[in-house]
Structure 1
């Protein structure tokens, strides 16, 4: 007689961790854009461990939830921060003077453009998640718009300011989103509202 045993493994919702990682890296990176800290040397550790690894852990756990949106979002932005950290290290000469001398900053512009396009269609998906997440994605749209334009020399000063303001705003809203996810789950009720989906695309 054949018996099939199905084991279900409960996995915690990783949204709070992923949003905290996003909040911390954008907080530190925005401080660099506003000139509150010099250079990107001390942004790199936060980019790797909070922006990249924390969101990658969230991505891998969202896979277990079967959450395509969360998996894609956390995974894509995790690898963005890995890429940014390595690019900054190239510019700083960590991998040798030859790589530093050959580095073309316009490569950032094309990466930012690709992520702008990605974030735009993810924003459409965020419409059916919650309002807090939707606000974060709209702000990320402005961040990548500012980064793309400033890198390609299109109104660089104004677009740099747009990117800096968007980035600090992402940090604030993502901290709120992380807190809401933790406290709502801990107390088993809506302690901090995340906002209901707009219900435009889903019946």
Structure 2
């Protein structure tokens, strides 16, 4: 009877980690191409923020909860809604629903996300080196963006953009590694594994 129960309870669903990491990484790269000064803030970035960076990460987080992965659930759902709130902050004033967010208020928003990310970084110390790098660079990114808004210094924002490209690329790398390692059934693409939780 015990063996039958264990068989019924065994999770055979796919790993949602690559989806969440790709959604986060690609959207982060595109936004930070803007922050670095390559193009204006446009509908392409906003659409990615709503549908891939936002919605797809929330879906990935919900699926992580089914796999009993509290860290993955918390991270993906939180950053999914980060993208949705960020798009809301940009779009809602355009419709006249609310006043535009001031620079000091945006700096506070980004600082809170930086603190949250720093706390999650502590959790990655039990996961793998690749995720540690993603969360470390994301923490730095939030604080740089906050500093850029707080000071009004565009140079800081441009530096943040380049740093954000590194962060986004590292998330894409990690998503690729998790996906390919799963496909090949072995450590095909290294992530610097600390434990097997992710």
TM-score of the aligned structures, taking structure 2 as reference length: 0.88
Q: Note if contact 2:89-2:101 (Cα within 8 Å) is conserved in structure 1.
A: no
Separation in 1, partners of 2:178, 2:39: 30
Larger RCO (CA within 8 A; separation ≥ 6): 2
Confirm whether residue 74 of structure 1 aligns to residue 76 of structure 2: yes
Q: Note if contact 2:32-2:165 (Cα within 8 Å) is conserved in structure 1.
A: yes
User: What are structure 2's unaligned runs of at least 5 residues?
Assistant: none
For each residue in 1:2-36, what CA deviation from the matched residue of structure 2 results, as whole angstroms up to 9, or x when unmatched?
Answer: xx977435221111000000111011101111222
Please identify runs of 4+ aligned residues in structure 1 that moved more than 6 A.
none
User: What are structure 1's unaligned runs of at least 5 residues?
Assistant: 199-203
1:87 to 66, 84, 89: 89
Q: Note if contact 1:146-1:159 (Cα within 8 Å) is conserved in structure 2.
A: yes
The equivalent of 1:174 in structure 2 is 171
Q: Secondary structure at the match of 1:43?
A: helix
TM-score of the aligned structures, taking structure 1 as reference length: 0.86
Output the aligned Cα RMSD: 1.9
Separation in 1, partners of 2:191, 2:57: 20
The equivalent of 2:51 in structure 1 is 49
Q: Which has the higher helix share?
A: 2
The equivalent of 1:183 in structure 2 is 180
The equivalent of 1:13 in structure 2 is 15
Q: How does 1:1-203 map to 2 (within 5 A)?
A: 7-8=8-9, 9-91=11-93, 93=94, 95-96=95-96, 99=98, 102-105=99-102, 106-153=104-151, 156-197=153-194
